[in-house]
Structure 1
Amino acid sequence: MPRSTIRHAFTALPIALMLVLSGSACSGGSTGDDDTVRFGYIADYNGASLLAIAEKQGLWKEAGLTPQVKPFNNGPVQIQALAAGDLDYGYIGPGAMWLPATGKSKLIAIDTLTYADRVIAKPGMKSMKDLTGKRIGVPEGTSGDMILNIALEKAGMTAKDVEKVNMDPSTIVSAFSSGRIDGAGFFYPAIDTIKKKVPDLEEIASTKDTGDAFPTAFVAGNKVPEGKNLKVIKVLQQANDWRHKHPEETIALTAKMLDVTEAQARADASHVRTLSTKDLVAKTRNGEVDAWLKKLGDFFVRNEQMDDNPDPGEYYDGDLYEKAHGE
């Protein structure tokens, strides 16, 4: 896909979206260093668990902050909201990491390593070659888009070999379930919803099979003051360590926040690897986090989502993450 097409898909979103957000609880003018934290998230274990913990454990109040949280369908839409001043912070998966890398936001904390992304297809389709010329639904710019492009590349194919259709996640669920698309670049837990209607769907490709690290992350708007970022990072680190030590309790809290069963939250968490804050700080210092981001950046350049691959230090505030842990 040409760069211009990908960037248009990103820049065309805000017109209708911002009209909605301007009247929402997340609105509130330009970002400042007040105590309110307007936080976007995706309604899954990765995106919601730390927010659920922070609320239950009173971490926001302890930090002198007041959270306003709002769910979104994907990472790119949150970054649009950050740019418009309707959010201070958001959560993104690995497929949206090209957005902070191109200056659309600042990456302030790694969340988890996720392996929830798949290329799925109709029953009987066993390989990417079987999807040649077929309609593939994908939320562009997300990890679903990422795994589709990884799978195409591995199979010696390009996006021109399939009919790639940009869809939001809820539309993919209905379109695949009804047979209007032949496959999808998608992710759990939404795939579990599809499986209720198409239990024998095929999983053709998975991030689990690549052997690579796929970090999820929290991002901040470019105008959010460093002092506020420091406070928020501390809250996220405290919640992260609680999650790492209390996996079952975290599943229960996340399930309650998302209004799903604990079994559903547990299945979602099974695709996730959590790391302690101490481990994340060590991996930041030794360059491992940068290596994860650099490898993703190389992929985004090959996929023409970025012109070049910047040093991760230009968009990941690892020094601030380390500072938050040391205080």
Structure 2
Amino acid sequence: MKVPLWTAAAALVLLLPITGCSSGESDGSKEVKFGYIADFSGAAVLAVADKQGLWTKYGLTPQLKAFTNGPLQIQALGSGDLDFGYIGSGAAWLPASGKAKIIAPNMLGIADRVITHADSGIKSITDLKGKKIGVPEGTSGDMILQLALKQAGLTVKDVQKVNMDPSTVVTAFSAKQIDAAAIWYPLIDTIKKNVSDLVELTKSEDFYPQISFPSSFVARNEIVKNDPATTTKVLKVIQEADNWIAAHAPEAEQLTATFLKAPAEQFKGASAVTKILSTSELVKLTGDGTVGGWYKNLADIFVDMGKLTQSPDPNTYFTADLYKSAASG
């Protein structure tokens, strides 16, 4: 990547210090170093695990550290500074290239949009030809833009793609310094405070279910290979928390805000721009090859984007059998 692939909410998060969950370490408990991103999809599982005492239930003591993006966590996994972590769909090319293992799919992102101003004269993606588009390089917004252009018979060479960090996209679009933007919620909510008449040209769900954008939990290659027992315990924590979130999405928003010590309104409605699946649903979709298809499609996109030279078999980096066995045990 030219600029590290950021997960969708990277601009919104704060870098938080390492902290353990409130359960504390008990005799015989296994310590695990776990990275996360301080947004809803990145922290909800940890918030629920903390509140429900799931770490203690499975004999684990987490040392948690917040990151602003997935690639930094992959680096930390590679150096041994983390055992487990969380990445958005924009960083999935890194496990696909062998730098980590995906141990569990998480929520599906449906927050990305290509937007323009109502008075821009742009009525469709085709009308973006020659137009200036602000986009954070290598993010899920970048992926949506490239998919939309391809569907319309265009490429990034047909538009003026301007690489900007997410906060700059918000400012530039609001000031009409760019014709369009490839960005996501809740940043679009921020834009709407200044631009009430924006138009959404395309959205994540336009490509679903043919193409989905899963966030994922990842692990060091070595810990998956050498300590599957601990990996399975971590999976059980994730899976039990996933089930609770699927059944209590509004409460999960509140728990996540509390866990991150953030205003509740910052996370209100966050579940509406994510597709939350229970563990039983994810196990079924893993078993029938759907989840593997999600990762395969992402890898194909990364090949088009120049992030991968080839699209590998997801079975080489997604531990589907381990995920299914953890759920059945």
TM-score by length of 2: 0.82
Using the TM superposition, give the Cα deviation of residue 262 of structure 1 relative to its aligned residue in structure 2, in angstroms.
4.5
> Deviation of residue 100 (structure 1)?
1.2
Query: Taking structure 1 as reference, are residues 306 and 321 closer, same or farther at Cα in structure 2, changes over 3 Å only?
Result: same
Partner residue of 1:290? Answer: 292
**Secondary structure of 2:321 counterpart:** helix
Counterparts of 1:120-135 in structure 2 under 5 Å?
Answer: 120-124=115-119, 125-135=122-132
Counterpart of 2:205 in structure 1 is: 208
- Higher mean C-alpha displacement, 235-244 vs 68-77: 68-77
Change (3 A) 1:107 1:184: same
Q: Does 1:9 align with 2:6?
A: no
Please tell me the residue identity of whatever aligns with 1:207: S
Per-residue deviation, residues 93-112 of structure 1 (Å, max 9, x unmatched) = 22322221111221010112
Aligned match for 1:83, one of 75, 78, 84: 78
**Does 2:18 correspond to 1:25?**
yes
Could you tell me which amino acid in structure 1 is paired with residue 50 of structure 2? Answer: E
Check conservation: 1:128, 1:204, Cα contact below 8 A.
Answer: yes
Displacement of 1:148 after TM fit? Answer: 0.9
Structure 1 residues 204, 260: CA separation in 2 closer, same or farther (over 3 Å shift)? Answer: farther
SS in 1 for 2:222: coil
2:196 to 199, 207, 218: 199
- Note if 1:230 corresponds to 2:207: no
1:115 is matched with which residue?
Answer: 110
Shift in Å at residue 251 of structure 1? 2.2
Task: Work out whether residues 73 and 86 of structure 2, in 8 Å CA contact, stay in contact via their aligned partners in 1.
Answer: yes
Equivalent-residue separation in structure 2 for 1:260 and 1:190 (angstroms): 16
CA distance, structure 2, for counterparts of residue 194 and residue 73 of structure 1: 21
Equivalent of 1:326 in 319, 325, 328: 328
Give the CA deviation at 1:301. 2.4
Q: Which position in structure 2 is the counterpart of 1:67?
A: 62
Query: What's the offset of the Cα at 1:176?
Result: 2.9
Does the 8 Å contact 1:76/1:142 carry over to 2?
no
Amino acid at match of 1:166: N
- Give 1:195 shift: 1.7
- Cα deviation 1:196-246 (Å, max 9, x = unaligned): 222222211111112323322111232334333222111101111111222
| Residue 280, structure 1, aligned to residue 282, structure 2 | yes
Partner Cα separation in structure 2 for residue 232 and residue 276 of structure 1 = 16
SS in 2 for 1:66: strand
Residues 152-209 of structure 1: per-residue CA shift (max 9 Å, x gap): 1112111112232333333333333344443322211222122222222221111111
Amino acid at match of 1:112: M
Report the RMSD for the aligned CA atoms in angstroms: 2.6
**Other-structure match for 1:248:** 250
TM-score by length of 1: 0.83
Distance in 1 between the 2:72 and 2:116 partners? 26
Give the AA of the match of 2:251.
Answer: E
Letter in 2 for 1:144: G
Amino acid at match of 2:240: Q
Q: For residues 65 and 179 of structure 2, what CA distance do their matches in structure 1 show?
A: 32
Cα distance change of structure 1 residues 171 and 231 upon mapping to structure 2, 3 Å threshold: farther
The 1-side partners of 2:198 and 2:186 are apart by: 15
Call closer, same or farther: CA 1:82–1:141 in 2, change over 3 Å: farther
State the AA in 1 paired with 2:3: A
Q: Is the 8 A contact 2:149 2:155 kept in 1?
A: yes
Equivalent in the alignment of 1:102: 97
1:165 equivalent among 126, 146, 162 = 162
The whole-number CA distance in structure 1 between the counterparts of 2:67 and 2:174 is: 22
Aligned to 2:9: none
| Equivalent pair of 2:17/2:65 in contact (CA under 8 Å) | no
Aligned CA distance change for structure 1 residues 179 and 259 (closer, same or farther; 3 Å): farther
Residues in 2 aligned to 1:227 and 1:167: alpha-carbon distance in whole angstroms: 43
> Matches of 2:49 and 2:183 in 1, distance apart?
29
* Kept in 2: contact 1:82–1:89 (CA 8 A): yes
- The change in CA–CA distance for 1:229 and 1:242 in structure 2 (over 3 A counts) is same
Preserved contact between residue 106 and residue 222 of structure 1 (Cα < 8 Å):
yes
Deviates more, 1:260-269 or 1:280-289: 260-269
Distance in 2, matches of 1:168 and 1:84, equals: 27
Measured at CA, do residues 309 and 262 of structure 1 come closer, stay the same or move farther in structure 2, by a change above 3 Å?
Answer: same
SS in 2 for 1:9: coil
Distance (whole Å) between structure 1 residues aligned to residue 123 and residue 110 of structure 2 = 20
Distance of 1:227 and 1:168 partners within structure 2: 40
Contact 2:253 2:269 in 1 (8 A): no
For 2:189, give the aligned amino acid.
Answer: D
